[in-house]
Amino acid sequence: MELELDCEGSVPVLGERESLVSMIDNLINNAIKYSPANATVLVRVACEGGRAVLIVADQGPGIPPPLRERVFDRFFRNPDQTQSGSGLGLAIVKSVVDRHGGEVVLGEAPGGGLMATVRLPLAAAEAPQPMLRT
């Protein structure tokens, strides 16, 4: 497995550190878990349109479009999924994103697989600590 990071420098986000780390951890761990051997998982961090953007793209089976909103429900799993799991990872991601005033969208990664895109408000330049720089 290859993990590739593409980051455009400092992308400050104001929020609760442990929750944001949990969100990132869940997205990357899912991407690794569902990707085949020798695959590449891409993690991209950037500022776009005045927002912080985190993209995690894998080369796994993806999620069919009709199920992409359902997978954010606690304990829901794609009925065709063969990997083990509890169905909580993406529910945690959605909860963290919602609490931080952001949005998360699932789509198809270039070349197949799943691409999770998280958009969060950027921290103001004069924002006090705690600040997580992603």
Q: pLDDT tens, 86-105?
A: 667 899 999 999 999 999 99
132 assigned to some structural domain: no
Tell me: the pLDDT tens digits for 25-57?
A: 999 999 999 899 999 999 999 999 889 999 999
The CATH number of the domain holding residue 98 is: 3.30.565.10
CA dihedral 47, 104, 94, 96 (to 10 degrees): 10
Domain annotation covers residue 28: yes
Distances (CA, A) of 84 to 4, 50, 130: 25, 38, 35
Identify the domain containing residue 10 by its residue range.
2-123
Is residue 133 assigned to a domain?
no
What pTM was estimated for this model as a whole? 0.85
pLDDT recorded at residue 127: 46
What percentage of the chain reaches a pLDDT higher than 70? 83
How many structural domains does the chain have?
Answer: 1
Lowest-confidence range among 19-28, 50-59, 80-89, 122-131? 122-131
